């Protein structure tokens, strides 16, 4: 029987395929689960669940109805020159926004309360209280990208009492968030924010956006958190800005090259915190809830919210 069933194919170098297989076989018994790189009956593959598939892999499945990305960002997928012209569905939050909010709250508080200084003081067993802490209500946080993740991050930071600014393509009305957009908006947004958080998708427009010029528009006592993509940031421009004290520091989760090469100066910089692309880890159950719901929707003749290939997100 399973020899005639349509197939849901899977490819991910990082996700545990058994979790996906077990749940898909339970909730979508009309389909068979197969690993895409070993699929034997390629013509039976109707849905592909993928993270960073090799270029060209997906074009070999001629009856694909949709591609599901096992993450929020679709930049890696859209770089495949042979990507078939089928609908692309990505994860929208699926449990990642909460993790992202916790990551940035750690960074904001560490910076605003100067916890980094105490780590150094402890290393030298030196007791030196810093008493001039800036009040949260004067410490503006700017969130670039107010989408599925950015809007949740902005709201959670705002709930802690920080004034929050948001920057997006289109204006937003989110309670407590001051909305900026476009190039003109970026100028005022950057001048006001003490912490700038990048949560943009990587597209032709946003690639290398955080360069020398961008960093020079941030205030000298500000801090950058990059949790979007490494290629949003020109790392050499950041190192230069830190050297000139044009900004105070950075917390980086994503890099031009991952894993971050051992010789990269960011590893040792006293004002940089490095984490290995873990600001949010795709929660399989949250991802599966969305994917199963969307496959059922497509099978019933509906269409889920799709990635806009032209816009790149
Ligand atoms: P969404 O697509 O939901 O939101 C994108 C937001 O960016 C939208 O608000 C959009 O504006 C805005 N935007 C896009 N282009 C521009 C531009 N040129 N200028 C200004 N604003 C722009 O994305 P998500 O919130 O789901 O995810 C954001 C990114 O986070 C992902 O693409 C991924 O790269 C990264 N990510 C990183 C992870 C990690 O572990 N480090 C984990 C998960 C995601 P508008 O609403 O007006 O269209
Ligand atoms: C994502 C990521 O885009 O984990 O989901 O980076």
Element (H, E) at 286: helix 284-299
- pLDDT at residue 257 greater than cutoff 60: yes
Band of pLDDT at residue 3, cut at 50, 70 and 90 = confident
For the segment 259-276, the average pLDDT, to the nearest whole number, is: 98
53 CB near ligand 2 (under 6 Å): no
Q: Are 306 and 91 in contact (CB under 8 A)?
A: no
Superfamily of domain 96-274: NAD(P)-binding Rossmann-like Domain (3.40.50.720)
**What kind of fold does domain 7-94+282-299 have according to CATH?**
Rossmann fold (3.40.50)
Closest ligand to C-alpha of residue 75 is 1
- What is residue 1's predicted lDDT score, i.e. its pLDDT? 56
What residues are labeled active site? 229, 277
Q: What 3 state SS string does 173-242 have?
A: CCCCEEEEEHHHHHHHHHHHCCEEEECCCCCCCCCCCECHHHHHHCCCCCEEEECCCHHHECHHHHHHHH
202 CA → ligand 1 middle, Å: 8
The model's pLDDT over 284-298, given as tens digits with 9 standing for 90+, comes to 999 999 999 999 999
At 2 the pLDDT is 67
- Which of 199, 252, 280 to mutate to test ligand 2, by most ligand atoms within 8 A of the CB atom? 280
Listed by start position, the domains of the chain span: 7-94+282-299, 96-274
Phi, psi values for residue 113, rounded to 5°: -90, 0
Are 101 and 152 in contact by the 8 Å Cβ rule? The answer is yes
Which residue in 158, 178, 176 sits closest to 168, CA to CA?
A: 178
The domains spanning 7-94+282-299 and 96-274 adopt the same CATH topology: yes
Cis ω for the linkage preceding 259 (within 30 of 0): yes
Q: What is the pLDDT of residues 35-82, one digit of tens each?
A: 999 998 899 999 999 999 999 999 999 999 999 999 999 999 999 999
Ligand 2 pocket residue status of 72, Cβ below 6 Å = yes
């Amino acid at each position: 029987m399973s020899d005639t069933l349509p197939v849901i194919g899977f490819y991910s170098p990082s996700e545990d395929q058994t979790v996906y297989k077990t749940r898909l076989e339970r909730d979508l018994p009309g389909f068979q689960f197969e690993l895409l790189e070993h699929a034997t009956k390629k013509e039976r593959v109707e849905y592909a669940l993928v993270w960073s598939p090799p270029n060209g892999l997906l074009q070999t499945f001629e009856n694909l109805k949709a591609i599901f990305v096992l993450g929020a960002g679709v930049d890696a997928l859209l770089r495949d020159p042979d990507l078939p012209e089928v609908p692309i569905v990505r994860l929208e939050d699926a449990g990642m926004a909460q993790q992202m909010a916790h990551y940035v709250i750690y960074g904001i508080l560490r910076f605003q309360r100067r916890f980094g200084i105490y780590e150094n003081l402890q290393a030298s067993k030196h007791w030196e209280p810093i008493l001039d802490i800036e009040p949260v209500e004067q410490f503006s946080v700017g969130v670039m990208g107010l989408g599925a993740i950015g809007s949740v991050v902005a709201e959670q930071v705002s709930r802690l009492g920080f004034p929050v600014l948001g920057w997006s393509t289109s204006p937003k009305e989110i309670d407590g968030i001051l909305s900026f957009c476009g190039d003109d908006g970026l100028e005022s947004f950057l001048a006001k924010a003490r912490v700038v958080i990048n949560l943009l998708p990587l597209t032709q427009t946003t690639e290398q956006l955080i360069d020398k010029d961008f960093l020079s528009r941030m205030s000298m006592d500000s801090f950058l958190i990059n949790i979007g993509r490494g290629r949003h940031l020109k790392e050499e421009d950041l190192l230069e800005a830190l050297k000139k004290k044009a900004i105070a520091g950075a917390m980086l989760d994503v890099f031009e090259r991952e894993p971050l090469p051992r010789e990269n100066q960011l590893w040792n910089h006293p004002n940089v915190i490095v984490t290995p692309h873990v600001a949010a880890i795709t929660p399989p159950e949250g991802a599966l809830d969305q994917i199963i719901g969307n496959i059922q929707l497509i099978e019933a003749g509906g269409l889920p919210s799709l990635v806009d290939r032209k816009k790149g997100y």
